């Protein structure tokens, strides 16, 4: 059986599942779908996607939601980037060029709103369509990026990257599980939701 996971944090679930014995169950396959935020509602309604995972406050009405975890933000830079040496200050943050993921549902809108309220405009060096691209862009350049701390699990102890305490106080965002009301009572969908909740409870967020 193939389960489709949508949303910017769908990839996090597959990372956690790799260590879970239940993914080895006969016939089970997990597929992370690369869908835009605009396409996710129809995908959930049609059954193309079973679950969406992300910061998606605009989803309501026909959709059920379940809290998974909240996360704050960190900066990442290449380990050999001079800006990552010593104390990471606001001055360094503002002087750096930034890589930004433009996909909705990552919480970046919260970051952007906070910066705008403080009158801060970043020097953007690259814009990428997906959060998963950010570590690769940063590791091979002089760019830095602001990412949800929980996303660090996707590259773990990658020696080419360094996590830095964010110099700006940013609000936490809640990452939730979402599904369409059509499948709320569906046994397979309910099983998947329960498994995902269990997986996320056992993952050590860094």
Query: pLDDT tens-digit profile of 66-116?
Result: 998 888 899 999 999 999 999 999 999 999 999 998 765 555 778 888 999
Considering just the CA atoms, what is the radius of gyration of the chain in Å? Answer: 18
Query: pLDDT tens-digit profile of 115-167?
Result: 999 999 999 999 987 777 888 899 999 999 998 888 776 666 567 899 999 99
| Domain span including residue 62 | 2-70+173-202
Q: Which residues contact 176 (CB under 8 A, 6 or more apart)?
A: 53, 54, 55, 56, 65, 66, 67, 68
Nearest Cα to Cα of residue 7 among 61, 76, 66 = 66
- Report angle CA 134, 139, 143 to the nearest 5 degrees: 70
CATH code of the domain covering residue 127 = 3.40.190.10
DSSP symbol at 168: S
Number of domains in the chain: 2
- Residue 85 and residue 152 share a domain: yes
Q: Which two tokens stand for residue 119?
A: 């009158």
- Residue 122 and residue 146 share a domain: yes
Q: Number of C-alpha atoms within 13 angstroms, CB side, residue 131? A: 26
């Amino acid at each position: 059986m193939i389960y489709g996971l949508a949303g910017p944090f769908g990839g996090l679930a597959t990372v956690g599942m790799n260590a879970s014995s239940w993914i080895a169950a006969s016939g089970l396959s997990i597929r992370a779908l690369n869908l835009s935020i605009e396409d996710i509602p129809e995908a959930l309604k049609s059954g193309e996607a079973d679950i969406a995972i992300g910061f998606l406050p605009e989803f309501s009405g026909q959709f059920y939601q379940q809290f998974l975890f909240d996360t704050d933000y960190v900066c990442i830079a290449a380990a050999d980037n001079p800006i990552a040496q010593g104390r990471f200050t606001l001055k360094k943050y503002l002087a750096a060029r930034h890589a930004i993921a433009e996909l909705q549902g990552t919480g970046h809108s919260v970051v952007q709103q906070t910066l705008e309220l403080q009158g801060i405009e970043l020097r953007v060096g690259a814009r990428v369509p997906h959060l998963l691209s950010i570590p690769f862009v940063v590791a091979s350049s002089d760019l830095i990026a602001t990412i949800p701390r929980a996303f660090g699990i996707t590259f773990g102890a990658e020696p080419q990257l360094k996590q830095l305490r964010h110099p700006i106080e940013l609000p936490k965002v809640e990452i939730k599980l979402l599904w369409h009301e059509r499948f709320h009572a569906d046994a397979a969908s309910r099983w998947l939701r329960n498994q995902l909740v269990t997986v996320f409870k056992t993952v050590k967020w860094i």
